[in-house]
Amino acid sequence: MTAQVLKQHLCERHSFAFWASMEMTMTTISSAAAAPVRSSMVGGLLRLLRVWGDALATYWVRREAIKTLRQLDDRTLRDIGISRCHIETAVTGDLDLELVRIR
C-alpha cells in the first residue's frame, strides 16, 4: 500500500480533517558502521607496547638510581636518611622513612 493510497483510505474511513492536510513521508534511520576489528586490535597492540616501553624505561631509571646510591659511602647515605640495606626499597618508593630512622 503506497502512502497516497493509505492517506486516501484514512481520510475516507475516519474522516479526520487533519489526515487530508497531512503529508506522509518516509524517513530512514542511519547509524554509523561499527569500527573495524582490525583498528581496535592495532590500538590495543600499540597501548600494550607503550605500557611495556614505559615499564622498561622506569626499570632502567630505577636501576641507575640504585647503582648511583650504592656508590655512595655510608655517611652520605645516612645524611640522606637511608641505610645501605634500604636502597632498593627507597628507590621503588616502598620505604617508610618513619619506621627506619637512622641514629
Residues 24-48, mean pLDDT to the nearest whole number: 71
- DSSP letter assigned to residue 45: H
Q: What is the 3-class SS of 7-41, one letter each residue?
A: HHHHHHHHCCHHHHHCCCCCCCCCCCCCCCHHHHH
pLDDT of residue 73: 93
- Residue 82, number of CB atoms within 10 A of its CB: 19
Among candidate residues 71, 99, 103, 20, the one with its CA nearest the CA of residue 87: 71
Query: pLDDT band at 21, cuts 50/70/90?
Result: low
pLDDT above 60: residue 95: yes
pLDDT of residue 64: 95
Residue type, 19: W
Residues 21-37, mean pLDDT to the nearest whole number: 61
> Tens digit of pLDDT for each residue in 52-84?
999 999 999 999 999 999 999 999 999 988 889
pLDDT of residue 43: 85
